[in-house]
Structure 1
Amino acid sequence: MDDIEIINQVLQGDQQSFEELIKRYQHFVFTIALRYSRNREDAEEIAQDVFVKAYRSLADFRRDAKFSTWLCTIAMNTTRTFLRKVKPRMDPLDPGTVHAQHTGNSADPTEKRSTHLLVNHVIGLLSADDATIITLFYKAEQSIEEIGVIMGLTPNAVKVKLHRARLRLKEKLELYFADEIKEILN
């Protein structure tokens, strides 16, 4: 079933069908919340709030965009509201002391996970906007236009911001993890 069919079922009174939407998008929403909050517990709380808000507002979903785009907008707004209410926390990871470990075997699932963790960590070192645009484009596979809707930007502005975010990501990778990158590429 696609998202629209599930939404129609929920709106017709089958509240249990909403669980399928939660299963499909819980990782997506959690990732967005974590990018901004940088705290697992806060991200879990935010994700829960996002789905409650989405459920309550489901009748307002206009269907002129993908459900994931609409949900992402709710996630970003909920996260921003949450973060305004809490005091900023110190990032427990010092980027200068965090190093990924690699085995040297690119077919090794452990190395792939390590590489994935390395990239995620470096994305976490970016500003919230840069991390969000990278996450939306590469992990959530949102189009330039969808990212524009989510972030309130024109498609051209998204392209420029994405380009600049990629450059900053590359700089951080080269700055903090030059040895690991060389090992991955070999």
Structure 2
Amino acid sequence: MNTGTNDNEIISRVLRGEQSLYADLVKRYQNFVFTITLRYTTSREDAEEIAQDVFVKAYRSLADFRGESRFSTWLYTIVTTTCITFLRKKKLDTHSLDNEKVFETVESTDSGFKANQVEQKSKIQMVNKAIRLLSPDDAKLINLFYQGEQSLEEIGQIMGLEPNTVKVRLHRARQRLKDKMETHFVQEVKDIMN
């Protein structure tokens, strides 16, 4: 595949019988999918299992992709419904904020990492924990806009809202996220500001 091939071209070719090209879509979106699944579960193994399930479901439903929105928008919908279904089946208990698994990623990283890289991961984890404290709709908005890099119009399509409504709700969700961070992560926020 040449690097200029867009998602819709790959999908057309896969649907015409070039199934091996689906691996290119998986490579292109594996980090996107895995990052979102990690926001639903703190277990790396569960996130990997969910991500694999997402790509299987997406492959089986590829003929249903109409190209009216970006592939990532369509894929995000599959990711969120798969995560919710997985969590319902597993009936996970809510993890407390002092759960040691939250720090697994930083502790398991190579000791050769520079201090500022570890600090950056810690900040990202703090933000992810704060996002988990939000309502599902607020978390979805934040994830779609910042992680999924979806436009207001695309978020509107996913959530069944007008773009202006999305803009207002996103503004409110960011404010609630800020409030959660200032309430639950007082020291961490102070450290970031210094």
| TM-score category of the 2 structures, normalised to the smaller one | 0.7 to 0.9
Alignment partner of 1:93: what SS?
coil
Deviation of 1:92 after TM superposition, in Å, equals 4.2
Query: Separation in 1 of the partners of 2:156 and 2:29?
Result: 20
Alignment partner of 1:65: what SS?
coil
Distance 1:158 1:38, change over 3 A: farther
Runs of 4+ in 1 over 4 A off after TM superposition: none
Distance 1:39 1:131, change over 3 A: farther
**TM-score when scaled to structure 1?**
0.83
Q: Does 1:165 align with 2:169?
A: no
Deviates more, 1:142-151 or 1:118-127: 118-127
Number of the residue aligned with 2:117:
109
Query: Separation in 1 of the partners of 2:79 and 2:45?
Result: 15
**TM-score when scaled to structure 2?**
0.80
- The alignment-based identity, stated in percent, is 61
From 158, 176, 183, give the equivalent of 2:191.
Answer: 183
Instruction: Could you tell me which runs of 5 or more consecutive residues in structure 2 were left unpaired when the two chains were aligned.
Output: 104-114
Deviation of 1:11 after TM superposition, in Å, equals 1.3
Number of the residue aligned with 1:125:
133
Letter matched to residue 20 of structure 1: D
Query: Separation in 2 of the partners of 1:113 and 1:81?
Result: 28
Confirm or deny: 8 A CA contact 2:39 2:128 kept in the other structure. Answer: no
Partner deviation per Cα, 1:106-145 (whole Å, 9 max, x = no partner): x933322222222222222223322221111112211111
Deviation of 1:49 after TM superposition, in Å, equals 1.6
Partner deviation per Cα, 1:49-77 (whole Å, 9 max, x = no partner): 21111111111211111010111111122
Number of the residue aligned with 1:142:
150
Partner deviation per Cα, 1:7-60 (whole Å, 9 max, x = no partner): 122112111111111111122222323323444333322221211111111112
Confirm or deny: 8 A CA contact 1:11 1:59 kept in the other structure. Answer: yes
Letter matched to residue 157 of structure 2: V
Equivalenced residues, count: 177
Query: Separation in 2 of the partners of 1:83 and 1:111?
Result: 30
